[in-house]
Structure 1
Amino acid sequence: MTGAPTAIAGGLVLAGWDAEPVPGTVLVAGDGTIDAVAYGPDARALAERAAEAVDASGAMVMPGLVNAHHHAYGNALRGTENDRPLEQWAPFTVAYGRHLDAETLRLAILLGAAEMLRGGVTAAIDHSPQVGLHETAFTAHRDSGLRVGYAPFFHDIHDHDFLGMALPAELRAFLEGPGFAAADFTEAMFRSLAEEAYSGDGRVAVLLGPNAPQRCSDVLLDLWVRLRDGLGLGVHTHLLETRAQRDGCRRVWPHGLVREMDRRGLLAPGLSVAHGVWLDPEERALLAERGVVVSHNPASNLMLGSGLAPLQGFRRAGVTVALGSDSANTGGAADLFEIMRLAMMLPRLGDGDWRGWLKPSEVLRMATEGGAAALGLAGRTGRIAPGWQADLAIVDVGGSAAVAAVPSVATLVQHGGPQHVRATMVGGSWAYRDGRILAFDEAAAIARFRDRIGAVMEAARRDVALVARNS
């Protein structure tokens, strides 16, 4: 983007998780980065340098939030939740997901982006199983207004085989067809997507998206390393989400999956892992040593009964932690304010010493700079500082639902929500402002989605019934 400088003035500026909001002005350069930040008497002079001044009176200008684990296809499957744990929930999602066509996936991506932009989210990782529709997904993300790390799945080992689950023949046959994408297709897909991403404006990046290490054969694990190193791509994967996965991995690798990953050279900076609920202390320490980011998903861990992730253990080990909402049909709304509150409060149930409780500033760090690290954007987004990307949210702190005697990080985290977000800027461009999505026609996307989703659900009905009678 190249445009005129914009000043956001008259409000409070929260520079980052380790600051407190103070009156100031943010000057956004025409290239989409932050040119300058001024406070006190210097704030008015800075505003006068801009071609456009945006009034932020009664609001706080803060770094945009980052959703560091999301499955965008799930926006089409709201209402299909079935109150089962992950291993029993997954076949139902396969039954629905196989019937998502390109247009419905495109609309699901756009509507999920609208929800996040309205909630002050400026960036997200989409861990996507719809690899056959990768061009559609990439284009939709480019049109969404969000900053995105697009991470298409690859895997070639079924969960029921790895975990030794006894399935009825009818269900096994359903889950095992159609087959997985071959390694040569996977490699060609990532090379094509990487080339497209490199030729774009940089807002949509490509990440390798292995579904989970235990779901990948040696061939795919070797491909992981080759593409990571050869194309310079980051990696995003699931890791030890459930007790069943932990136990299954211990049977195959008595020394543990994480140590096996390290032996294979899979643990490296640029890797982010979702969940990590069942990591032991030594594994957590190893992730920290290797520079791996953990994306914590408290809402979906609760919905699926996967467990309480050892957030205090991550903290003690020095692991960089990000936050994610997971899929709309496992974690509910992509509301990072609510995710921050869950992340902050849930560990208190198991920690008797209140003096060690997580603070609001710590979970804000996870939702900003931690998420940026998961996206490979550490030092580029997640703070309001000169030279950083202008990925910003303007949050009302003067309305009746948000007013506080002294606006602070604590009041933002403990009381804020999407209903308080006035505007969201990504890379210097307004993507949401004054109640309207500006990146695309939201009303048209909603109308078209409503026209299509009934047919998708009807097409999936027979497969859903098959799964249900075998579950």
Structure 2
Amino acid sequence: MTQTILIDRALVLAAEGFRPGAVLIDGPTIAAVAFTDDEAAQLRSRAAQHVRGAGCWLIPGLIDAHAHGYATLLRGTENSLPLELWALYTTLYGRGYDDSAIRAAILLGAAERIRAGITGVIDHTPMVHLGRTALDAHERSGLRVGYAAFLQDVSDYDLLDIKLPPALMHRLGGPPPLDADAYADRFSELVQTARAGSGRVAVQLGPNAPQRCSPEAWDLWRELRDRHGVPVHMHLMETRAQALIGQRKWRGGLIREIERQGLLEGDVAAAHGIWLTADERDRLARHGATIVHNPASNLMLGSGVMPLAQWRAAGANIALGTDSANTGGRHDLFEAMRLAMMLPRVATTDHTAWPRASEILAMATRQAAPVLGLTGRLGTIAPGQLADLVLVRHDQPATLPMQHNEAALVQSASPDAVDSVMVNGAWVMRARRILAFDEAAALAEAEAAADAIRTRAAAELPVLDAALPGLAERLRAVLAAYAEGQTR
């Protein structure tokens, strides 16, 4: 049985900024919003539960539009390497995951996100073989989730002519040859499992990246997208090396080729989008693709800074992500919002071109709804919208504002200020206490799982450590050749 809930006397985020108001939730949706005393009084008589919002901003739930759920167990592992070398360590650790590890990783990440006011997340996952357990953990988390199952059968190292030593290949392996029928069967099973659940968790097709998929995988990509009617989530042009691959392998570039192949049709989200030309940005924007900006991760890996101003000029829809816990660090969209707001200011002294706090907040809420396949249904506080809501305290030392506006929230708020979180009309955290699951048990399970993975990887790490200098030198040579070609 659903319960009507009234959040009263909060400062509610409206189209024109924060206003004193009340919001009535009926089941999974917002039933009414009141901004006058008379309207609020009428809503009070309709509510079964009254929640006092005094001292709080009420905002739409933040959406982490690109992340990898497994990686929450890998904090403190190697993160002082560029992506092409960092990925070797992550792959090695990843081979130690089992059902208990993926469950622990997902619930650990859910606890962190709930405390950070994140109500929705994309889990872009290579561990499709653990998919049923992952879906169950996402259901338990209480969050709204897009579970984007990897599709990949090509290695970046092959594309870059970087040969891994045999001893390392033996331990890491590589993408297995594509078995299209087996993948299609597993993917269909995951889709059906998710659709039989709460409705908060949905399966997406998650090509690792277009260049990491063979022509046969591209065919499967189109087929499964169309058969199941699912969104597509992928990495795209994250590093200089990937830009080199795109230029080398496809005449006219990778983006023109995937456009020609029909792979930009439908709901497409692409993470990173750093190393693209103006023409490629325009093409993606024309197709309505959402570009997910991951500023912390890109800085940590030295991948570059996404040209936010150019993407905005192209008319692209832009969302924000936290990426992996062992690259971007905290799953903290307050940090991502601040970085996204400040980084463009270094590129130009024209302050009129700098993104405003209200625009950045929209990237973390309304503009991220398409990555979950919920365009127009999520990300604003209005009747008929899904009730994913967050109360953020503005009466604390770090948040007490002179003016109640989006700038005060984006510049000053943090997970420490998040008081209560609602997803789909149900409280997953109330007054700083997580209700969706047992947080203490999740922490204990995660610690045990991380210990087990570290133990499994201990014997393999020296082989990778020994190979690293040679691989790093080869990568430097590849990038030097790329830079030389760019200056000719």
Q: TM-score, normalised by structure 2?
A: 0.94
Q: How many residues align?
A: 467
Aligned to 1:286: 283
Work out which of the residue numbers 65, 70, 79 in structure 2 matches 1:68: 65
Work out which of the residue numbers 392, 397, 405 in structure 2 matches 1:395: 392
Q: Which amino acid aligns with 1:161?
A: D
> Distance in 1 between the 2:6 and 2:40 partners?
10
> Distance in 2 between the 1:66 and 1:367 partners?
6
**Alpha-carbon spacing, 1:129–1:295, altered in 2? closer, same or farther (3 Å):** same
Aligned to 2:479: none
Alignment of 1:120-159 (within 5 A): 120-159=117-156
Work out which of the residue numbers 410, 420, 436 in structure 2 matches 1:423: 420
- Per-residue CA deviations over 1:118-163 (Å, capped at 9, x if unaligned) read 1111100000111110111111111111000001111001110012
Work out which of the residue numbers 21, 32, 37 in structure 2 matches 1:36: 32
Q: Which amino acid aligns with 2:150?
A: F
The answer to whether residue 253 in structure 2 is matched with residue 256 in structure 1 is yes
Work out which of the residue numbers 221, 231, 238 in structure 2 matches 1:234: 231
The answer to whether residue 173 in structure 2 is matched with residue 186 in structure 1 is no
Decide which moves more: 196-205 or 263-272: 196-205
How far residue 445 of structure 1 moved from its aligned partner, in angstroms, is 1.2
How far residue 178 of structure 1 moved from its aligned partner, in angstroms, is 7.7
> Distance in 1 between the 2:68 and 2:12 partners?
32
> Distance in 2 between the 1:13 and 1:172 partners?
55
% of aligned pairs identical? Answer: 49
Q: Is the 8 A contact 2:270 2:290 kept in 1?
A: yes
For residue 364 of structure 2, give the secondary structure of its aligned residue in structure 1.
Answer: helix
**Alpha-carbon spacing, 1:294–1:160, altered in 2? closer, same or farther (3 Å):** same
> Distance in 2 between the 1:112 and 1:452 partners?
13
How far residue 177 of structure 1 moved from its aligned partner, in angstroms, is 5.2
Q: Is the 8 A contact 1:8 1:47 kept in 2?
A: no
- Per-residue CA deviations over 1:69-93 (Å, capped at 9, x if unaligned) read 0001000111113300000100000
Alignment of 1:51-450 (within 5 A): 51-176=48-173, 179=176, 182-450=179-447
> Distance in 2 between the 1:451 and 1:275 partners?
32
> Distance in 2 between the 1:293 and 1:333 partners?
23
Task: Return structure 1 stretches of 4+ with deviation > 6 angstroms.
Answer: none
> Distance in 1 between the 2:175 and 2:353 partners?
50
Q: Is the 8 A contact 1:25 1:44 kept in 2?
A: no
For residue 462 of structure 2, give the secondary structure of its aligned residue in structure 1.
Answer: helix
- Per-residue CA deviations over 1:59-109 (Å, capped at 9, x if unaligned) read 011100000000010001111133000001000001111001110110110
- Per-residue CA deviations over 1:319-372 (Å, capped at 9, x if unaligned) read 000000000001000100110010111111112311111110111111001211
For residue 374 of structure 2, give the secondary structure of its aligned residue in structure 1.
Answer: coil
- Per-residue CA deviations over 1:273-323 (Å, capped at 9, x if unaligned) read 000010111111101111111011000000000001111111000000000
How far residue 400 of structure 1 moved from its aligned partner, in angstroms, is 2.1
> Distance in 1 between the 2:428 and 2:43 partners?
24
> Distance in 1 between the 2:366 and 2:10 partners?
22
For residue 156 of structure 1, give the secondary structure of its aligned residue in structure 2.
Answer: coil
Q: Is the 8 A contact 2:101 2:450 kept in 1?
A: yes
How far residue 180 of structure 1 moved from its aligned partner, in angstroms, is 5.4
- Per-residue CA deviations over 1:430-467 (Å, capped at 9, x if unaligned) read 01111211111010111122233212201111222211
How far residue 269 of structure 1 moved from its aligned partner, in angstroms, is 3.1
> Distance in 1 between the 2:403 and 2:123 partners?
36
Contiguous gaps of at least 5 residues in structure 1: none
> Distance in 2 between the 1:451 and 1:374 partners?
33
> Distance in 2 between the 1:348 and 1:405 partners?
24
> Distance in 2 between the 1:221 and 1:406 partners?
51
> Distance in 1 between the 2:462 and 2:182 partners?
32
> Distance in 2 between the 1:178 and 1:420 partners?
43
Aligned to 2:24: 27
Q: Is the 8 A contact 2:63 2:365 kept in 1?
A: yes
> Distance in 1 between the 2:53 and 2:78 partners?
39
Aligned to 2:475: none
> Distance in 2 between the 1:97 and 1:423 partners?
33
How far residue 169 of structure 1 moved from its aligned partner, in angstroms, is 2.7
How far residue 420 of structure 1 moved from its aligned partner, in angstroms, is 0.5
The answer to whether residue 7 in structure 2 is matched with residue 11 in structure 1 is no
RMSD: 1.2
Q: Is the 8 A contact 2:341 2:360 kept in 1?
A: yes
How far residue 378 of structure 1 moved from its aligned partner, in angstroms, is 1.0
**Alpha-carbon spacing, 1:178–1:156, altered in 2? closer, same or farther (3 Å):** closer
Q: TM-score, normalised by structure 1?
A: 0.97
Q: Which amino acid aligns with 1:457?
A: R
> Distance in 2 between the 1:8 and 1:327 partners?
34
> Distance in 1 between the 2:447 and 2:240 partners?
38
> Distance in 1 between the 2:266 and 2:277 partners?
20
Q: Which amino acid aligns with 2:253?
A: G
> Distance in 1 between the 2:72 and 2:452 partners?
16
Contiguous gaps of at least 5 residues in structure 2: 469-488
Q: Which amino acid aligns with 2:111?
A: A
> Distance in 2 between the 1:409 and 1:178 partners?
44
> Distance in 1 between the 2:114 and 2:174 partners?
37
How far residue 186 of structure 1 moved from its aligned partner, in angstroms, is 1.4
> Distance in 2 between the 1:182 and 1:47 partners?
58
